[in-house]
């Protein structure tokens, strides 16, 4: 027997099944690109006579670090399905860290603690919109604009990563998306997803520009005395991504009613599937777009949620009729689309309105939109799965395919949807419990209901919740432990859980 | 007429039997023993060879024939035969038998250069629908791919009093339908608004499938609509039947033993309830209340299984059973076993081909009352005097336009509608006026 070949057969197995070096290489490269964005707030800082150094230094440090990692891990890599999970998860942590750097370097008193700055960075890139800053207007213009820009980049990031990267790696909603975009457009998978990402980009930039132009016009024409060019840009950057950071202490409340209605409309737009919107607007197939089941349910849920909230605050005499309609609608839309802008403190509203607001946090917008949370299509499919289960209880032999927009949805996808929702609820419950326990430990005035709302709000990337984390509050009083927990919830919610959970399994890392 | 027939199986043999007296037949098949059996019984020429080969076809003299019938069991081979024949002899009329309804669809869209296509599955489905769709009807005929039905009823005393003895113009008739004729003993009335229907009349109604059902309910209250049909076997035949029934808003339950096939059919027919079961399990039959179905259709591939399942269903109390049988001999066996109707797809296909071979001018013809009345399906020429006229302005000459098919969709015309060139008119007329009608259009 040839001993040499036997030796080769029994050779050492690779210790890891994942190409960590290759993954780090991609993360480093992405971080390098992303760090270039710090030049924008640096420009604003110069324009407003502030120091640009925090941004330039942050950009240099993050860029250098990213490039260093990329250089250190250069070489041949095996990048596939497995590595994608690691790349996505780490990239979002790295992005949040980049977001935190300018706050730390500038040493602004409201954001000088690393945990707080990291929270702000994660809340920014994940388009959550919850903040540890108590007085936003006291921040320098550069830092304030950096918060808005993070959210805008995070919004497009959802789309580019979710549509361009994640689907190719078969994570999450690829099959769902395929069902939303049937027809002759489907060429090969790669070109289609790249095309989609490009179209979505164009639409995203166009909608942002449009909103900025209208807001600016409102300001210049005197429709809204409060609306300066700075505020117009700041809010245009965080409305389409359904993100929710504001450059005003009282969020949108101080702006004119017309501005509030306008932002409401754009929040609704931000919650629509961008590929579908592209078809409806650019391709001029509005009928096909309107017939989309998910869009119909999305609009229906928005309507139902709004009606309940409006009716409740109107009949309970919280506000007079005209105002109740505007405030109720705005709050419901802002919550369901996971934006998190507010125009009223709903902490004192009647119980049903409060419960509805927490409920709406679990809805979200359409798949392929900028919203967080569970997303309407998953609710839609879950409803269909449940209806089928009930039917099959009586008729066990029935073969009932689940359809979405007439096309049959694969069983695998249905299983993925059910497991996602279970995981989502599980993480939400654990998060709420831990927050409540930690609040009790540190003596934080957080009721169990508040803890539930904060957990839901963080996981769904909404932002404001109830109690001290309410629309006019701040997350500053939370302990470091709770803050880290909330960062984890935002991270999980933003990446739709699975990519991160997968990293916790043994067989992700090892073959046997 | 010189007729060239490719395929000497069950369908071919039935066609030979029907046509050999009046026509000059040449039969082509790969199997010598089948040809021998045919030539012993009938006076037909036979050629052994491949019907999809140009060399074989032209040396057998296909160029001289008037009509080519390709009815082997292989769809593609039949289509190739017809296409080669069209190339050799452009004036020859070609008829192709297919088992795949998709070819029928392609042909209807004009993408297949064949004069006439007969799909066994669709013909069988139509035959079944004719049997069960309107229980009160004496006779049902289907036109325009099932969109138009012509139904004959005997009006008895139990008929809805709103339609008896009242001038037709005052009766709220089911929409998309009209009374095409009233037969009262030897008298025939082409009804106008002043005419009345009386008990004892036999009436002819043209209308949409829904209207036909509504009429059934008027004529014999309580029997109106078939709501619940169970089909055993979701293969091609079962699926085709289910599709036709669903188009007529009849509720369908399918029972299929193969999970894979059940999934495919469930995806294809969203409104059908597909069960993954053998249909031979008494517990299943009991739990799903199969016996409550108004009609049970057995469309599995195996006659033996159909036979057993039908008998079992009868034991469980099934009221009306229809079997699709594959062997000619099975028809009698099934009827002995108490199956109410058995249909042999090959027989149905052969009949359809023969009907067309007799008279290829009009697309579809039905005879009523022996041969006193005919239903014509004529495409309007652009030079016709009637083009552009409103229906109410057309002189009635013993004929009635029951429906027109415009761009593939059946329309039930009102007085103000206008006839356009290219419309297919479904016309009910007395047989002696057929040539007048054809000339006018």
Q: What is A432-481 written as a DSSP string? A: HHHHHHHHHHHT----HHHHHHHHHHHHTT----SGGGSTT--STTS-HH
Q: Which of A399, A400, A407 best probes binding to B when mutated, by most B CB atoms within 10 angstroms?
A: A399
Residue A249: both structure tokens together:
């202490």
Nearest-by-CA chain B residue for A402: B267
Contact B263 A399 (CB under 8 A): yes
Q: So what's the pLDDT on residue A428?
A: 97
Q: Which of B358, B330, B425 lies closest to B67, judged by CA?
A: B358
Among partner residues B276, B284, B288, which is closest to A399 by beta-carbon distance? B276
What are B248's two structure tokens? Answer: 């007529």
Q: Determine whether the interchain pair A401/B277 forms a contact, defined as Cβ–Cβ distance below 8 Å.
A: no
Per-residue confidence (pLDDT) for residue B369, from 0 to 100: 64
Interchain CB contact of B276 with A (< 8 Å): yes
Query: How do residues B200-231 score in pLDDT, each as one tens digit?
Result: 888 888 888 888 888 888 887 766 677 889 99
**Residues A145 and A234 sit within 8 Å (Cβ to Cβ):** yes
Q: Is B410 on the interface with A (CB under 8 A)?
A: no
Q: Give yes or no for residue B430 having a pLDDT over 80.
A: no
pTM of the model: 0.80
Min distance A445 CA to chain B CA atoms (Å): 54
The reply to whether residue B274 touches residue A408, judged by beta carbons under 8 angstroms, is no
The pLDDT assigned to A213 comes to 96
Name the residue among B256, B270, B277 with its Cβ closest to that of A403: B270
User: Nearest CB to A401: which of B256, B266, B284?
Assistant: B266
**Interface check B329 vs A, CB under 8 A:** no
In angstroms, the separation between the Cα of residue A406 and the nearest Cα of chain B is: 9
Place of tokens 């042909």: B107
DSSP state of A168: G
Instruction: State the 10-residue block means of pLDDT for chain A, 512 residues long.
Output: 54 76 84 88 94 94 93 80 79 92 92 93 92 91 94 73 42 34 31 66 90 95 91 95 90 92 95 84 82 92 95 89 92 94 90 94 88 89 94 93 87 87 95 95 92 95 89 88 96 86 88 78
Of A395, A400, A406, the CB nearest to B266: A400
Residue A340, CA atoms < 13 Å, CB-side half-sphere: 40
* Angstrom distance (rounded) from CA B212 to CA B235: 28
Task: Name the pLDDT band for B99 (thresholds 50, 70, 90).
Answer: confident
> Closest to A397 (Cβ–Cβ): which among B263, B270, B275?
B275
Chain A residues interacting with chain B (CB cutoff of 8 angstroms): 395, 397-401, 403, 406, 408
Alpha carbon of A401: minimum distance to chain B alpha carbons (Å):
6
pLDDT at A386: 96
User: Closest-CA residue in chain A for B279?
Assistant: A397
Whether the CB of B266 is below 8 Å from some CB of chain A: the reply is yes
Cα–Cα distance for residue pair A438/A443, rounded to 1 Å: 8
Of B267, B277, B288, the CB nearest to A401: B267
Percent of chain B with pLDDT over 70: 95
Lowest average pLDDT, out of A154-163, A458-467, B41-50, B81-90, goes to A154-163
In angstroms, what CA-CA distances link B367 with B119, B124, B147, B232?
22, 19, 18, 33
Is there a contact between B263 and A398 if contact means CB atoms under 8 Å apart?
no
Nearest to B149 by CA among B408, B375, B420: B375
- Give ipTM to 2 decimals: 0.75
What ranges in A395-410 are assigned the alpha helix state H?
none
Confidence category of residue B360, pLDDT binned at 50, 70, 90: low
* Mean pLDDT value of segment B343-353: 84
Task: Examine the pLDDT at B138 and tell me if it is beyond 70.
Answer: yes
Q: Is residue B438 over pLDDT 80? A: no
Q: Please, which pLDDT band fits residue B303 given cuts at 50, 70 and 90?
A: very high
Within 8 A of B273 by CB-CB distance, chain A residues are 395, 398
* Contacts made by residues B310-317, CB under 8 angstroms, sequence distance 24+: B310/B334, B310/B337, B310/B339, B311/B337, B311/B338, B312/B280, B312/B282, B312/B285, B313/B232, B313/B285, B314/B338, B314/B339, B316/B282, B316/B285, B316/B286, B316/B290, B316/B291, B317/B291
Beta-carbon neighbour count of residue A445 at 10 Å? 9
For residue A455, the surrounding DSSP H or E stretch is helix A448-459
Cβ–Cβ below 8 Å for B263 and A406: no
The predicted pLDDT at position A352 comes to: 93
Element (DSSP H or E) covering residue A322: helix A321-336
- pLDDT at residue A167, as a whole number: 39
Spatial distance between the Cα atoms of A27 and A131, rounded to a whole number of angstroms: 26
Residues of A in contact with B275 (CB under 8 A): 395, 397-399
Which pLDDT value is given to residue B163?
A: 81
B275 and A406: CB-CB below 8 Å?
no
pLDDT at B119: 86
Select from B409, B119, B103, B131 the least CA-distant residue to B245. B131
pLDDT value, residue A54: 93
Number of DSSP helices (H) and strands (E) in chain B, helices first:
14, 22
Task: Give the Å distances, CA to CA, from B264 to A317, B101, B260, B268.
Answer: 56, 16, 6, 6
CA distance B276 to chain A (A): 5
Q: How many CB pairs under 8 A join A and B?
A: 28
Mean pLDDT of B132-157: 78
* Of A339 and B410, the one with more pLDDT: A339
Beta strands in A414-466 (DSSP E): none
Quick check: B274 and A399 CB within 8 A? Answer: yes
Are residues A399 and B277, on separate chains, in Cβ contact within 8 Å? no
């Amino acid at each position: 027997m040839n001993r040499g070949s036997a030796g080769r057969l029994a050779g050492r197995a690779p210790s890891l099944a994942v190409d960590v070096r290759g993954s780090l290489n991609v993360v480093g490269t992405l971080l390098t690109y992303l760090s270039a964005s710090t030049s924008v707030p640096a420009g604003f800082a110069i324009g407003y006579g502030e120091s640009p150094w925090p941004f330039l230094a942050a950009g240099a440090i993050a860029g250098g670090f990213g490039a260093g990692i990329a250089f250190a891990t250069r070489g041949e890599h095996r990048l596939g399905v497995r590595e994608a999970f690691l790349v996505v998860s780490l990239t979002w942590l790295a992005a949040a860290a980049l977001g935190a750097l300018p706050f730390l370097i500038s040493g602004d008193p409201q954001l000088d603690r690393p945990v707080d700055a990291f929270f702000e960075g994660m809340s920014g890139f994940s388009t959550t919109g919850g903040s540890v800053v108590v007085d936003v207007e006291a921040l320098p213009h550069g830092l304030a604009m950096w918060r808005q820009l993070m959210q805008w980049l995070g919004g497009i990031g959802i789309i580019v990563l979710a549509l361009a990267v994640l689907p190719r790696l078969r994570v999450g909603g690829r099959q769902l998306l395929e069902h939303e975009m049937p027809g002759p457009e489907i060429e090969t998978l790669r070109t289609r997803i790249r095309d989609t990402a490009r179209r979505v980009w164009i639409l995203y930039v166009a909608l942002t520009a449009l909103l900025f132009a209208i807001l600016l016009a409102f300001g210049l024409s005197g429709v809204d005395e409060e609306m300066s060019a700075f505020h117009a840009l700041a809010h245009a950057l965080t409305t389409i991504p359904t993100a929710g950071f504001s450059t005003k202490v009282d969020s949108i409340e101080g702006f004119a009613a017309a501005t509030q209605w306008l932002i409401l409309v754009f929040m609704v737009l931000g919650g629509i599937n961008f590929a579908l919107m592209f078809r409806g607007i650019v391709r001029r197939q509005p009928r096909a777009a309107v017939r989309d089941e998910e869009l119909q349910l999305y609009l229906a849920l928005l309507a139902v949620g709004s009606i309940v909230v409006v009716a409740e605050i109107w009949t309970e005499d919280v506000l007079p009729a005209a105002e109740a309609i505007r405030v109720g609608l705005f709050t419901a839309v802002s919550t369901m689309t996971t934006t998190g802008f507010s125009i009223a403190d709903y902490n004192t509203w009647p119980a049903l309105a409060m419960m509805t607001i927490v409920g709406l946090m679990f809805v979200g917008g359409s798949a392929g939109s900028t919203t967080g949370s569970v997303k309407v299509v998953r609710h839609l499919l879950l409803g269909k799965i449940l209806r089928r289960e009930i039917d099959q209880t009586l008729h066990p032999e029935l073969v009932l395919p689940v359809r979405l927009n007439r096309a049959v949805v694969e069983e695998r996808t249905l299983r993925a949807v059910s497991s996602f929702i279970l995981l989502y609820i599980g993480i939400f419950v654990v998060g709420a419990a831990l927050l409540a326990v930690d609040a009790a430990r540190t003596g934080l005035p957080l009721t169990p209901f508040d803890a539930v709302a904060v957990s839901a709000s963080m996981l769904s990337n909404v932002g404001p919740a109830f109690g001290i984390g309410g629309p006019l509050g701040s997350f500053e009083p939370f302990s470091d432990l709770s803050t880290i927990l909330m960062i984890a919830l935002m991270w999980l919610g933003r990446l739709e859980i699975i990519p991160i959970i997968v990293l916790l399994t043994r067989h992700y890392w090892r073959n046997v | 007429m010189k007729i060239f027939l490719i395929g000497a199986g069950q369908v071919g043999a039935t066609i030979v039997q029907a046509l050999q007296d009046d026509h000059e037949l040449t039969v082509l098949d790969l199997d010598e023993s089948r040809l021998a059996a045919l030539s012993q019984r009938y006076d037909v020429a036979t050629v052994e060879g491949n019907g999809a080969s140009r060399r074989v076809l032209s040396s057998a003299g296909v160029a001289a024939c008037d009509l080519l019938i390709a009815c082997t069991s292989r769809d593609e081979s039949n289509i190739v035969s017809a296409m080669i024949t069209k190339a050799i002899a452009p004036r020859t009329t070609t008829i192709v038998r297919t088992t795949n309804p998709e070819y029928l669809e392609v042909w209807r869209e004009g993408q297949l250069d064949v004069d006439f296509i007969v799909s066994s599955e669709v013909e069988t489905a139509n035959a079944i629908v004719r049997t069960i769709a309107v229980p009160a009807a004496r006779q049902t005929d289907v036109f325009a791919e099932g969109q138009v039905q012509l139904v004959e009823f005997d009006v008895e005393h139990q008929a809805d009093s709103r339609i008896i003895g009242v001038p037709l113009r005052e009766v709220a008739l089911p929409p998309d339908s009209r009374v095409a004729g009233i037969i009262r003993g030897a008298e025939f009335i082409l009804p106008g608004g002043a005419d009345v229907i009386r008990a004892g009349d036999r009436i002819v109604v043209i209308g949409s499938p829904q209207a036909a059902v509504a009429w059934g309910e008027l004529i014999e209250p309580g029997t109106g609509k078939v709501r619940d049909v169970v089909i055993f076997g979701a293969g091609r035949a079962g699926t085709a039947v289910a599709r036709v029934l669903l188009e007529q808003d009849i509720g369908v339950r399918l029972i299929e033993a193969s999970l894979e096939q059940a999934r495919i059919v469930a995806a294809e027919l969203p409104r059908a309830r597909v069960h993954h079961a053998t249909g031979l399990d008494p517990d299943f039959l009991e739990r799903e209340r199969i016996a409550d179905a108004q009609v049970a259709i057995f469309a599995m591939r195996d006659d033996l299984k159909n036979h057993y399942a039908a008998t079992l269903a009868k034991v469980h109390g099934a009221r009306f059973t229809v079997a699709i049988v594959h062997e000619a001999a099975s028809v009698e066996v099934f009827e002995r076993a108490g199956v109410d109707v058995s249909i042999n797809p090959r027989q149905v296909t052969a009949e359809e081909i023969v009907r067309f071979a007799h008279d290829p001018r009009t697309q579809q013809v039905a005879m009523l009352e022996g041969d006193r009345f005919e239903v014509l399906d004529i495409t309007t020429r652009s030079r016709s005097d009637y083009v552009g006229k409103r229906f109410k302005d057309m002189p009635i000459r013993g004929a009635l336009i029951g429906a027109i098919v415009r761009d593939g969709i059946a329309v039930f015309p009102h007085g103000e509608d206008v006839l356009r060139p290219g419309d297919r008119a479904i016309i009910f007329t007395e047989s002696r006026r057929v040539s007048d009608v054809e000339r006018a259009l």
